[in-house]
Structure 1
Amino acid sequence: MQTHEIVRRFTEHFVKAGHTSVPSASLILDDPNLLFVNAGMVQFKPYFLGDVPAPYPRATSIQKCVRTGDIDEVGRTTRHNTFFQMAGNFSFGDYFKAGAIEHAWNLVTGDLASGGFGFDPDRIWVTVYQDDDEAIALWKKIAGLPEERIQRRGGKDNYWDMGVPGPGGPCSEIYYDRGPEYGREGGPEADEDRYLEIWNLVFMQDERGELSPKLGHPPVGTLPSKNIDTGMGVERVAYLLQGVANVYETDLVRPVIAQAEALSGRRYGASPEDDTRFRVIADHARSGVMIIGDGVTPSNEGRGYVLRRLLRRIVRSARLLGVTQPVLRAFAEVVRDEMSPTYPELVTDFERISAVVEAEEEAFLSTLTAGSRIFDSAVAETKKAGGLVLPGDRAFQLHDTYGFPIDLTLEMAAEQGLEVDQDRFTALMQEQRSRAKADAASRKVGHGDASVYRAVLDNHGITEFLGYTDLAAEGTIVGLLVDGQPVPAAPEGSSVEVVLNRTPFYAEAGGQQADTGELRSGSFTIRVDDVQSPVAGLRVHRGVVTNGTATVDSPVVAEIDVARRASISRAHTGTHLVHAGVRGALGTSAAQAGSLNAPGRLRFDFTSPSGAVTPTQLAEVEGEINAVLQQNREVEAYETSMDEAKRLGAMMLFGEKYGDRVRVVDMGDYSRELCGGTHVGRTGEIGLIKVLSEGSIGSGVRRVEALVGLDAFDHMSKEHLLVSQLAEQLKAKPEDLPERINGLVERLRDAERDLEKHRAEAVLASAGTLAEQAEDLDGVSVVAVEAPAGLGGNDLRNLASDVRGRLGSKPGVVALFSTDGAKVAFVVATTAAARDKGLAAGTLIPAFAPAVGGRGGGKPDLAQGGGTDPSGVGAAIQKLREAVRG
C-alpha cells in the first residue's frame, strides 16, 4: 500500500466518523517552547488548554513534523528520522478512551476492501499506563485482546507530554509483532524492534508544569475537559504494509537513495558505511525541503542552524560517497516529486526552495575548503610533535567554526593515520549543549501564567475587536489585574492590565505595533501604553491609572491615539507595497521573513538566497511603489474562505496559522495578502515611501528599512539641505558632488600616506643616536631608554630592530618604551650573540613588565607588550639592566 493511499484511508476513516479534516499546520508555529512542530496535536494546543473554544468537536489531520534531538543517530539506525508525518484524530471534550480505542482498532484491523489497513489482529499488542485499569478493560471489551497481549508500563513509556509545560496525559500504544526473525518474544517490554509501535492514543486530561509526570511528578492542574490526541506514524505503517525492512525503503524515501546511487555509482546495501550515508541523505533531504518550504533559511542559530546542519550533512555524506559535484538541488527535486501529491506547495514554491539549497551548498563548499586547510594544519602540528591523536579542541573548532561534523573529521584523520581525541571533543560538545539548554530554559515560556487570562476568557468570552471601523468605543471592564493577579479595584498610580468586552485597540501582532490611548469613565482614567493578546481571543490593555480608582464592571470609553494609529497604518500598508515590489524584482524566492510597522517607519525582512539587492533594483522598487501611491488605489479589506483566497493568489506568510475564514488586504493587481492588521483606505494616504537601507541580517535573509509619510518627507528635506550646504561649501553643482568628494578623499589619503612616511623616517633617524647611547653591562651592549611618546607597536618594533642592527655582531639588548597617556608600549630585541649568552627577548619581559603594570611576550629575538603605569618606566629600565647582569 503506497504512502499516499495510507494517508487517504486514514483521513476518510475519520471523516466518516464525524471528524473535520484539518490541513497540516506549518512546521513553524508561534510557540516559544518549540523550534519545530513535533507532534500532530501542536496546532490544536489552544483547544486542549481551553484558551479558545474548539471550532469542531472532532478533528483529524496529517501533520508534518520534525524532531531534531537524534540528528546524529540518523543513518546509523533505521529507526531515527528527523522528518515524519503524524496522522492523528482528536476529540475536544467529545469522546474519550472508548471512542479512541474503537476508532483505532477498526482502522488498523479493518479489511482492505472496507478501507482498513488489514493488519492481523492476532499480531497486535498494546501497552497502557501502569494503573489504567479502565483502558485494559476497554481493550478487552472492544478489541477482544487477551490479557497476555496487554502490558502495563510506567510514566517514562506510557505518559505523554510535549517535554515542556502544557497538556498531557496517560496513553495507550499499539504495537505490531513483526515476527520471531526480528527479535525475541515477550511483547514490547521485551523487544521494541520486533514489536514495533505504530500508534499512540493519548488520553489528554492533565496540565503539566516544569516537572513532567513522566518522571513521577504530579500534574499542576486538570484540563478544562477530557480530550483525545492520537498519533500514528505514517512512515512506520508504510514500511510494514509495503513489506520492506525500514522507512528508508518505502515508496517516498527510496527514490532519494536511488538518486544518490545514480550520482555516486555505489549501491545501497553493499556496505554498512555507505548505507549510513545513503540514509542520512534520504532523511535530511526530506527534512530540509519541508523546512525551507515553511520559510526557514540557513543561519547560525535556532531553526536556521538546524537546517544548515541538515543540508551540510547531506553534502558531506555525498562527498564520502565519492560525489564531488553539487547535489542538493537534485535531491530536492526528488523530494518535490514524491511529496507533492500531499504537499502541492512544494511545486509552486520550488524556485525559492532550490535557490536556498543551492546558495547554502555553494557556501558550504567554500567553507569546506577553508576548514580543510585548518585540518591539514592541525594534522601537520600533530605529526611534527610525534603524536598520533588529533586534539579534541581542534576537532571541536572544526565542528563549531567550520561546520565539520565529527565523523568527517574522524574519516579525514584516519586517512592520515591519526585518531581523534573524542573524549575531549565530546566534553566540549556537552559544555556547548549545556549552555544552549540553559539559554533555552531561561527563555522558555510556560502556560501557568496564562491561567488568569483563561479564567477571564471562560467567564466573559472573547474581546470583540472594533478597531477596523471605530477609533473610539464604549466597553466594560471585565478583567482587572495588578502584578498578574485579578483585583476588584486599582487606585491612582497602579500599573494595571485591563480586559474589556469590546475595544477599538489593536493588540500587537503580525509586526504591527499596538495602539496606545486612554480608557475613561466618570471617576477614573487609565493611560494605555500597550495592548497584547496573551490568550487567543483576549486583548489585554496595559497601562497606568492616572486618576481615580479603576474598578471591575465599570463602563468606559476606549479611545485610541488617532495620530499614532494613522501613522502605523500607513507604515503597515507600505510594508505590503514593499513586499510586492521586492518580490516583483527578485522573484518568488523573496518571501517575507519578518516585519515591523511603527509610527512613520517600517522594516521588512525577506529571504534572498542570491544575495544583496543591487542599488539599481532597490531604486526601481522605490520608484514603482511610489507610483502606486500616486495612483491612489483603493485598499480593500474583506473576509473570504481560504480556498477562495488561494484562488485569488493572496500571499500567505510562512509560519502563520490561518483558519477557514481569512482576511484579505487587496490593492488590486499589485498587492494581495492575508493580513489582520490595520491599513489606510487608499494608497495615496501614505504620501511617500523613502527606502533608507538594504542589508544582510543573516545567511540568505535581507532587511529593507524605510520611512513613510511626513517622516519620509522630513528625511528627504534634511538630505536636500545637507546636499545644498555641501554644494555651496565645495562650489559645485549637486550632481557633481560625488566626483568632487572622491577627489578630496583621495588627496587626503595621499597626504596621510606622505605624513606616515615622513614620521617613520623621523623615527628611524633617531636609531643611530640611540645606538650611540649603548652602555656596556658585563660585556653586553644595552640600549634601554624611553623613546618618543605616542609611538605605536609597529613604529616601536621597527625602531628597536634598526637599533639592534647598528650594534653589530656583539652581544646586545635593545629595550624601548613609549608612553601615550595612561598607556605604555615596550619592545625588546636581542642580537644573535646575546641569545647565545642566554639572553632571550621573551624571557626578559617578565623581569621588568610588572613595574609598568603590564605584561607581554614573544620570540627569543623580538618580544613586545604593554602596561598601564607610565610612571614606572624608569624602574622598568633599571629592572631590565639587573636582568641582563644576572
Structure 2
Amino acid sequence: MDTAEIRRRFVAHFERAGHTPVPSASLLLDDPNLLFVNAGMVPFKPYFLGQETPPYDRATSIQKCVRTPDIEDVGKTTRHGTFFEMCGNFSFGDYFKERAIELAWDLVTKSVADGGWGFPEDKLYPSVYEDDPEAVELWKKITGLPDDRIARLGKAENYWSMGVPGPGGPCSEILIDRGSAYGADGDFSAEDRYLEFWNLVFMQDELSAVRSKTDFDISGSLPKKNIDTGMGLERVAFMTQGVENMYEIDVMFPVIERAMELTGRRYGAGGAQGHEDDVRFRVVADHVRSAMMLIGDGVTPGNEGRGYVLRRLLRRAVRSVRLLGYEDPALPELMPVSRDKMGETYTELHRDWDRIAQVAFAEEDAFRKTLQAGTQIFDLAARDVKSGGGTLLSGPQAFALHDTYGFPIDLTLEMASEAGLSVDQDGFRSLMLEQRERAKADARAKKGQHADTSVYRGILDAHGPTTWLAYETLETESSALALLSGGAPTPALTAGQVGELVLDRTPFYAESGGQVADAGTITFDGGSLEVLDVQRPVRGLVVHQVRVLDGEFVPGSPLHARVDPDWRTGARQAHSGTHVVHAALREVLGPTALQSGSYNRPGYLRLDFGWTSGLSPEQLHDLEQVSNQALRADLPVGWQYMTLSEAKDWGAIALFGETYDNTQVRVVEIGGPWSRELCGGTHVDHSSQIGTIVLTGESSVGSGNRRIEALTGVEGFAYLARERDVVAQLTGLLKTQPDDLVGRVGDLVEKLKSAEKEIEKVRVGQLLAAAGQLAAAAQDVNGVQVVAHRADGAGGGDVRTLALDVRGRLPAGQPGAVVVIGAVDGKVAVVAAVNDEARSRGISANGLVRAIGPLVGGKGGGKDDVAQGGGTDASRIDEALALVITEIARAAGA
C-alpha cells in the first residue's frame, strides 16, 4: 500500500466517524517554545490549553512535522527522521478513551478490502500507563485480547505532558511485533522488536509544578477531557510496504536510487563499508526531503535558529554524497526526485520549485566553497601536528573546523586518516557535548517563558470577545472590563503608572502582521491615558498597555478611546506600501521573490524576502519606479473574506510562518490580481494615498535573505526634501547645475587622487632623502654600525621602506643593524633590518623586535634579516630604541 493510499484511508476513516478534516499547518508557527511544528497536536495546542474555543468537537489531520534533537542518529535506526508526517484524530471534550481505542483498532485491523490497513491482530500489542487500569479493561473489552497481551509501561513511556503546567494524561500505544530477529520476546524496551506506531493520549489531568517528564504534580482533573492521537505515517508505510525502514518507502527510496546512480555505490551491499554507506544513503534521503519541505515553508539557511537547522541538513546531505564518492553538485540531481514524490501530495512544491531550488542550490554552492576553505585549514593544522612530531589532531582543532568553518567531523576523520593522522574524538565529542548542553539550557530557558495567558482567558470567559472596530472608526465610547498591573488585577492606576486595560469595544489596531499597534489616548472624567501598545494575548481579546498622563484612573466611569489620526494615516500608508513593494519586487525579480517577513510603522516599511544576491542599482531603480507607477495609477484597494482554500485558488499570497483561520481569512488586493495577499492590517483606499515610496536601503539579513527599507507619505517627501537641500548646497559650493553635479564631483575626486599621489611621491622622496643622513650618522656599537631611529608620523609601510633603505646605505662589508620605530595616531610600527655580517655576529632582526615589542605594548617577529611588529604605547619609543643599543652591544660583545 503506497503512502498516498495510507493517508487517504486514514482521513476517510475519521471523516466517516464525524471528524472535520483540517489541512496541515505550516512547519513554522508563532510559538516561542518551538522552532518547528514537531507533533500533530501543535496547531491545536491553543484549544487544549483553553486559550481558544475550537470550531469543531472532532478533527483529523495529517500534519507536517520536523524534529531535530536526533539529527546525528538519522540513518542509524528505523526510528529517527527529521521530517515526518503525523496522522492524528482529536476530540475536544467529545468522545474519550473507549471511542478513541475503538476508532484506532478498527482502522488498524480492518481488512484492506474493507478500507483498513489489514494488520494481523496476533502481531499487535497495546501498551498502557501502569496506573491506568481503566485503559486495560477497555482494551480487553474492545479487542478481545488477553491480559498478558497488554504491556504496562511507566511515566517515561506512557504519560504525556507538554513539559509545563497545564493538561496531561496517560497514553496507550499500539505496538507491532516484528519478530525475534529484532529483539527478545516480551522486551518492550527493544523498540525495533515491538515498534510503536500509534499513540493515543487521554488528556484528563491538570498538571502543576512540572519538574521533569516523570516528576510533576497532578492538581486535579480537566473540566473537559480531550483526545490527542499521533500515528506515524512513515512507520505504517514501511510496515505495509514490506521494507526494513522508513528510508526505503515509496516517497523516499527513489532518492537513494538516484544517489546510487551518481556514486556507483550500492545500498544494502553488506559488510562494514556497506553499513557506513547505507547510513549515508539514508541521511541523503531524509535530509534532502526535510530541507526541501523547510524551504517550501519559507525557511532560508542561516547561522541561528531555523536557518541553522536547514543549513545543517543541507550540508550533511552534501557531505554524505561526497563521502559516497560523488563530488559534483548533488542537490540539483537529488532534490527534484524528492519533489516529484512529495509533490503528489504537496502540490505547492511544484508551484514554488524555482524558489526552493534557488535557495537549496545556492547553499550547496556556498558549502562547496566552505569545504575548499576548510580543506586548506585542515592542511595547515595537519602540517603543524606533523612538524611537531605528533600524529594526533586535537579535539579543539577538530571542533574549530566543525564549529567555525562548518567542516563536518566525518570529513575531518577521513582526511586525517589519509594524512596518516588520528583525531582526538573524545576531546571533540566533549566540546560538542558542552555545546549541546548550552543549547539545551537555552531551550529550557525559552520553554520556561511560556506565556501564562490564564488571566486573559478568564477575562475573555467572563466578558466575551472585545468588539474590535479598528476597520470602521478611530473613536469609540467604551467601558473598562479589566485593569491589570504586573499581570494581576489592580483597582486603580495613578499618574505616571503603566498598566493593561481591557475595553468592551476599541478602535485601536492591535500589533500583528508586521504592523505596529496604534497610538492614541483614552480619556476619562478627570484625566487621560496614553496608549503605549495594543496586543492580543488570546484570540478575541484586545489589551491596551497604557500610562496615566494625569488624574487617577479607577475603572467604572465612561471612557472615550481615540486613535491618533495622523498615526493611523501613516500606518495605513506604510502597510499598503509594503504590499506595493512586494508586488513590484515580484514584477522586477520574478515570482520567486517572496516576502519572508515585514515591519511597518507610520512612514516606514521594511520587507524581507528570499533572494541569494544583492540587488543591482538598476534593479533598485526599477523597483522604486514600478512601485511609484502603481501609486500614480491610483489603483483601488479592497478586501474581502473567504475560506483559506478559496483565497489560495484566487491567487492570494499567504506569508510563510503566519497562522490563518481555516474558515475565514481576509484578502487585501491592490489593483486586482496585481497584488493579492492574506492580511489583517489597515490600508488606504487607493494606492495614490500612499503618497510616495522612497527606497532607502537594501541589505543582507542572512544567507539567502535580503531586506528592503523604504519611506512613505510625508516621511518619504521629507527624505527627498533633505536630499534636494544637499544637492542645492553642493551646486552652490561648486557653482554648477544639478545635472552637472555628478560630473563635477567626479572631476574633483580625480584631481584629489592625483594630488594625493603627488604628495605621496614628495613624502616618500623626503623619507628616502633622510635615509642617507641616517646611514652616515650610524653609531658604532662593538664594531656594529647601528641606526636606531624614531620616525614620528610614519606608518608600517613607510617604516619598512626606510629601514631597508638605510640598511642598504650602510658601509659594505661591515656589520650593520637598523631599527626604525614609527607612530601614527597612537599606533606603533617597528621594523628591524640586519645585514649578513651582523647576523654572523649573532644579531637577529627577529630577536630585536621580540625584545622591544613589550615596551611599546605589542609584539612581532619575522626572519633573522628582516622582522617587524606593532604596538599601542608610543610613550616608550625612546626607551625601546635605547634597548636596541643594549641588545646589540650584548650580542656583539659576546
TM-score tier, shorter chain, comes to: over 0.9
Distance 1:422 1:749, change over 3 A: farther
| Distance in structure 2 (CA, Å) of the matches to 1:559 and 1:488 | 23
Q: Give 2:716's match in structure 1, choosing from 707, 712, 717.
A: 712
Distance (Å, rounded) in 1 between the aligned partners of 2:746 and 2:444 = 52
Equivalent AA in structure 2 for residue 826 of structure 1: V
Q: Distance in 2 between matches of 1:113 and 1:850?
A: 87
Kept in 2: contact 1:165–1:446 (CA 8 A): no
CA contact (8 A) 1:15 1:21 kept: yes
Give structure 1 stretches of 5+ with no counterpart. Answer: none
Q: 1:220 to 1:309 in 2, by over 3 A?
A: farther
Q: In the alignment, which of 727, 730, 734 is matched to residue 731 of structure 2?
A: 727
Task: Confirm or deny: 8 A CA contact 1:492 1:548 kept in the other structure.
Answer: yes
Correspondence for 1:381: 384
Contact 2:35–2:306 (8 Å) recurs in 1:
yes
- Aligned equivalent of 1:671: 675
SS in structure 1 of the partner of residue 94 of structure 2: coil
Q: Counterpart in 1 of 2:82?
A: 82
Deviates more, 1:482-491 or 1:2-11: 482-491
What residue is the counterpart of 1:51 in the other structure? Answer: 51
**Alignment of 1:768 onto 2:736:** no
5 Å-filtered alignment, 1:857-876, equals 857-876=861-880
Aligned amino acid, residue 715 of structure 1: Y
Aligned equivalents of 1:537 and 1:551: distance in 2?
A: 24
Matches within 5 A, 1:419-430: 419-430=422-433
Is contact 2:140–2:147 with CA below 8 Å preserved after alignment?
A: yes
For 1:772-851, list aligned pairs within 5 A: 772-785=776-789, 787-807=790-810, 808-820=812-824, 822-845=826-849, 847-851=851-855
The structural deviation recorded for 1:263 is: 2.4
C-alpha distance in 1, partners of 2:836/2:546?
76
Tell me the residue number matched to 1:100.
100
Amino acid of the residue matched to residue 243 of structure 2? V
Identify the residue that residue 616 of structure 1 maps to in structure 2. Answer: 618
Whole-Å separation in 1 of the counterparts to 2:749 and 2:554 = 67
Pair 1:552–1:13, CA change in 2 (3 A): farther
Q: Give the corresponding residue for 1:627.
A: 629
Q: Higher mean Cα deviation, 564-573 or 127-136? A: 127-136
- Aligned ranges 1:676-715 → 2 under 5 Å: 676-715=680-719
Residues 1:655 and 2:657 are matched in the alignment = yes
Q: Cα gap change, 1:338/1:64 in structure 2, threshold over 3 Å: closer, same or farther?
A: same
Q: Which residue of 1 aligns with 2:601?
A: 598
- Cα separation, 2, equivalents of 1:294 and 1:817: 60
The alignment's C-alpha RMSD in Å is 2.5
Q: TM-score, normalised by structure 1?
A: 0.94
* Alpha-carbon displacement from aligned partner over 1:483-531 (angstroms, at most 9, x marks no partner): 2221122222211111122211111111101101111222442110111
Distance in 2 (alpha carbons) for counterparts of 1:45 and 1:695: 37
Q: 1:846 to 1:217 in 2, by over 3 A?
A: farther
- Where do residues 64-75 of structure 1 align in structure 2 (5 Å cutoff)? 64-75=64-75
**How far 1:592 moved relative to its partner?**
0.5
The answer on whether the counterparts of 1:477 and 1:551 sit within 8 Å (CA) in structure 2 is no
User: 3-state SS of the aligned residue for 2:122?
Assistant: helix
The answer to whether the 8 Å contact 1:32/1:445 transfers is no
Deviations 1:460-495 (A, max 9, x none): 232221100111112222221112221122222211
What letter matches 1:217 in structure 2? F
1:750 to 744, 749, 754: 754
More displaced, 803-812 or 54-63?
Answer: 803-812
What residue is the counterpart of 2:154 in the other structure?
A: 154
Output the CA distance in 2 between the equivalents of 1:169 and 1:802: 85
Q: Deviations over 1:365-411 (max 9, x none)?
A: 23323323333333333334443333333333332333221112222
Query: Could you tell me which amino acid in structure 1 is paired with residue 536 of structure 2?
Result: S
Structure 2 segments unaligned to the other structure (5+ residues):
none
Aligned to 1:503: 506
CA-to-aligned-CA distance 1:186-238 (integer Å, 9 cap, x gap)? 1413x211110101112234566795441413368876633221111000011
User: Are the equivalent residues in 2 in contact too, given 1:475–1:558 (CA < 8 A)?
Assistant: yes
Map 1:141-540 to 2 at 5 A.
141-162=141-162, 167-189=167-189, 191-205=190-204, 211-218=210-217, 225-270=224-269, 271-441=274-444, 443-444=446-447, 446-540=449-543
Query: What code does the residue aligned with 2:90 have?
Result: F
Who is 1:544 aligned against? 547
Amino acid at match of 2:253: R
Q: 1:207 to 1:766 in 2, by over 3 A?
A: farther
CA offset at residue 539 of structure 1?
Answer: 1.7
Q: Distance in 2 between matches of 1:821 and 1:401?
A: 33
Residue 321 (structure 1) shift: 2.6
Q: Give the C-alpha shift of residue 855 in structure 1.
A: 4.5
Deviates most, 495-504 or 531-540 = 531-540
Distance in 2, matches of 1:313 and 1:588, equals 29
Give the 3 Å change call, closer, same or farther, for CA 483–306 of structure 1 in structure 2: same
Quickly say closer, same or farther: Cα 1:584–1:378, change in 2 above 3 A.
Answer: same
Distance 1:211 1:765 in 2: 81
Tell me the distance in 2 between the aligned counterparts of 1:309 and 1:358. 14
User: Is 2:830–2:849's contact at 8 Å kept on the other side of the alignment?
Assistant: no
The letter for the 2-side match of 1:5 is E
Q: Give the length in aligned residue pairs.
A: 883
Contact kept in structure 2, 1:49 and 1:224, CA below 8 Å: no
Identity of aligned residues (%): 55
- Could you tell me the TM-score, scaled by structure 2's length? 0.94
Question: Structure 1 residues 556, 533: closer, same or farther in 2, change over 3 A?
Answer: same
3-state SS, counterpart of residue 453 of structure 2: helix
Report the Cα distance in structure 2 between the residues aligned to 1:448 and 1:646, rounded to whole angstroms: 32
Which residue identity does 2:469 align to in structure 1?
L
The separation in 2 between residues aligned to 1:661 and 1:816, in whole angstroms, is 78
- Whole-Å separation in 1 of the counterparts to 2:134 and 2:767: 93
* CA–CA separation in structure 1 for the residues paired with 2:317 and 2:525: 68
- Select which of 737, 762, 787 maps to 2:741: 737
- 1:642 maps to which of 641, 644, 666: 644
1:626 corresponds to which letter in structure 2?
A: N
Whole-Å separation in 1 of the counterparts to 2:609 and 2:99: 46
User: Residue 765 of structure 1: CA displacement?
Assistant: 2.5
Contact 2:33–2:450 (Cα < 8 Å) also in 1: no
Q: Which one-letter code corresponds to 2:681 in the other structure?
A: G
**CA shift digits 1:342-383 (9 cap, x unpaired):** 211112111211222222222222332332333333333333
Secondary structure at 2:29's aligned position in 1?
coil
Q: For 1:418 and 1:467, locate their aligned partners in 2 and report how far apart those are by CA, in whole Å.
A: 69
Provide the rounded CA distance (Å) in 2 between the counterparts of 1:339 and 1:695. 34
1:840 aligned partner, one-letter code? S
Q: Could you give the per-residue CA deviations for residues 541-570 of structure 1, whole angstroms, max 9, x where no partner exists? A: 112112222234543221111110111101
Deviations 1:41-77 (A, max 9, x none): 1111111111111111111110011111121221233
What is the rounded CA distance, in whole Å, between the counterparts of 2:62 and 2:404 in structure 1? 38
Residue 694 of structure 1 contacts residue 704 of structure 1 at CA under 8 Å; is this kept in 2? yes
What secondary structure sits across from 2:404 in the alignment? helix
Structure 1 range deviating more: 165-174 or 332-341? 165-174
Q: Is the Cα contact below 8 Å between 1:209 and 1:448 reproduced in 2?
A: no
* CA deviation after TM superposition for structure 1 residue 296, in Å: 0.9
CA distance in 2 between counterparts of 1:151 and 1:262 reads 45
User: Does the residue aligned with 1:18 lie in a helix, a strand or coil?
Assistant: coil
Separation in structure 2 between the aligned mates of residue 173 and residue 405 of structure 1, nearest angstrom: 38
Amino acid at match of 1:229: D
Aligned counterparts of 1:839 and 1:433: Cα–Cα separation in 2 = 52
Letter of the 2:702 counterpart:
G
Counterpart contact for 2:163–2:212, Cα < 8 Å: no
Q: Which residue of 2 aligns with 1:120?
A: 120
